[in-house]
A and B are shown apart, each in its own frame.
Chain A
Amino acid sequence: MANDQHDITLAELLIVACAEGWRGDGELLASGIGTIPRLAAGLAKLTHSPELLLTDGEAYLIEEPIPLGPRPEGFTLQAAGWMPFARIFECVWGGYRHALTMPSQIDRYGQTNISCLGADYDRPKTQLLGARGYPGNSINHINSYLVTSHGPRVFVKGEVDMVAGVGYNPARRTPGMRGDFIDLRRIVTDLCVLDFEGPQHAMRVRSLHPGVHFDDVQAATGFELLRAPEMGVTPLPDATQLDIIRRLDPHNLRASALRNNPPALRAAPRAEVPA
């Protein structure tokens, strides 16, 4: 099937950008939590990184990524191994994982929050999930993050309201603790791809999505960003990647992953698509 570039959605571009994060990781557990992260993990395994380990999202290791959503009649899970939560923790604490998750807040240090919002921890403005596995993940293994609505409420000024995921903030280090397992790789947002490869792990814009300018990203961020010297444009998915994404997402759940399901080429005029 020919793919008109104007039919490619931003969600599909983000899936490819997220999948790139696992390139070169070797035999690690690739955990993508959420629609786009899960599709990205599957895409990474089926393209550049077949050595990655995946789970079915429940308790089993699989070698064939499982399509998202309701499964066809007669579907039987084919498992290669067993990965209950007890073994997930063994994997996390041993450092054999690169997780891609979706925090509610991120600060300049890469510290992240999914626990609760507001200045008063004892009486939060909004209670979210709790810290979940963020403290353990972030101090033990590689982490990347996805933000589907890049703005100053997510990329906050100062520190996040509750530091669940640790980052590169020297003031938070307890003397004598080991921080060398902290390894934040990239943040994929609906505007750009960020990394931590600036001086003292400062956050840099690594690529801008088509039609986005650096100033747009800076204006949507509560702290100063650097430009990577090689900063370019985030590539569009190619036909092979799109075919795999469609196969892994037969119910088109990715269409609901971003508000209004925008096209990847948002600055370009979009042809009317018949309903």
Chain B
Amino acid sequence: MALNKQLGAQDLVAQLRDGMTIGIGGWGPRRKPMALVREILRSDLKDLTIVTYGGPEVGMLCAAGKVRKLVFGFVSLDAIPLEPYFRRAREAGGMDICELDEGMLQWGLRAAAMRLPFLPTRVGLASDVHARYPDFKTISSPYADGETLLAMPALHLDVALLHVDQCDRLGNSRILGPDPYFDDLFARAAKRCYVSCEQLHERLDLGEHGSTDAARANSFERYLVTGVVHAPGGAHPTSCAPHYGWDMKHLKQYCASAEQENGWQAYANDYLAGGESDYQARVGGAAHIGSLPVTAI
């Protein structure tokens, strides 16, 4: 029987459980699986450990009270450097965090991907990333150099959530934007990986998509993919180059809501009350999302 990994975002979220460790692909305000995140925001899920190069999804999940622990290298919207709801959650105190160097995060994912307990690195030593997180251990090189290194523990994920440009029903995927970021490592570090996509095809090896050049945009194997969700515009308000850029107007409005009394509740009422098609209608429709320019830095 032919594989068919397609499922709906709600069905996907129904497979998640309280307390899970969820890795989220993309980078800051870029190519975040926001349609899947919104479905989590609409759900009863709680006590999540989130592992990510954070953008607005972190602020939203914090504001909605979904996050028990955050493992992060940064949280930023780049053009808007500070994420307001993440900032608020940290400044309120009591948030369980593991703050990492960006390179350490991918190193921990890589260790998990290779089924290793840790990978050595110099990164983190002599810094507060090491000093503030007592769980990190050091190790001595067993060779003549005897160098002391940080043993970056594997970052095992229960689930990875990614957003890419193209998928087929078998779970083959392609990232057409300029940078695949570390989506491949999130996929490899997770027990289950769900991928939402701009375009869903029956088969990526057929027709105009079947060329070997096009196939180079495939950055991880389908055996890693548990489910595929067709979610055009699903990265909004983050960017999904070359399809669309970030929605700065919407991001500014989202950030401004953090300055208001019950601002998150108002944002949630305005944008999350219905389903994803309601969301898209409220932000201006699929045509609006598709027309957002990919801006140069």
Interface residues in chain A, defined as those with a beta carbon under 8 Å from any beta carbon in chain B: 56-60, 66, 69-71, 84-86, 89, 92-93, 115-116, 120-136, 138-140, 162-166, 169, 172-179, 181-182
Q: List 28 A-B contacts (CB under 8 A).
A: A58-B178, A58-B296, A70-B296, A84-B181, A85-B27, A89-B103, A120-B93, A121-B128, A122-B93, A122-B95, A123-B90, A123-B92, A126-B91, A127-B90, A130-B75, A130-B76, A130-B99, A131-B128, A132-B102, A135-B101, A136-B103, A136-B124, A139-B123, A140-B123, A162-B132, A163-B128, A174-B126, A176-B147
**CB-contact partner of A131 in B87, B126, B129, B149, under 8 A:** B129
Chain B positions within 8 Å of A134 at CB level = 101, 127
Which of B102, B127, B129, B295 lies at the interface centre, i.e. has the most chain A CB atoms within 10 A of its CB? B127
- Classify the secondary structure of A's interface with B: loop
How far, in whole Å, are A164 and B128 apart by their CA atoms in the complex?
6
Chain A positions within 8 Å of B91 at CB level = 123-127
Is B134's beta carbon under 8 Å from chain A?
no
Is B86's beta carbon under 8 Å from chain A?
yes
Give the residues from 68 to 102 in chain B that come closer than 8 angstroms, CB to CB, to chain A: 72-76, 81-82, 86-87, 90-95, 99-102
Give the number of residues in B that approach A within 8 Å (Cβ atoms).
Answer: 50
How far, in whole Å, are A176 and B145 apart by their CA atoms in the complex?
9
Q: Are A123 and B75 in contact (CB under 8 A)?
A: no
How far, in whole Å, are A122 and B132 apart by their CA atoms in the complex?
10
How far, in whole Å, are A175 and B126 apart by their CA atoms in the complex?
10
How far, in whole Å, are A85 and B175 apart by their CA atoms in the complex?
14
A170 to chain B, nearest CB (A): 10
A109 to chain B, nearest CB (A): 10
Which of B72, B87, B102 lies at the interface centre, i.e. has the most chain A CB atoms within 10 A of its CB? B102
**CB-contact partner of B296 in A57, A126, A164, A181, under 8 A:** A57
How far, in whole Å, are A162 and B102 apart by their CA atoms in the complex?
16
Sorted nearest first, the 10 A-B pairs with minimum C-beta distance are: A123-B93, A176-B148, A59-B178, A130-B74, A127-B90, A135-B101, A57-B297, A136-B123, A166-B126, A84-B179
Q: Are B122 and A178 in contact (CB under 8 A)?
A: yes
Minimal Cβ-Cβ distance residue in B for A130: B74
Is B142's beta carbon under 8 Å from chain A?
no
Q: Are A135 and B129 in contact (CB under 8 A)?
A: yes
How far, in whole Å, are A85 and B103 apart by their CA atoms in the complex?
9
Is B41's beta carbon under 8 Å from chain A?
no
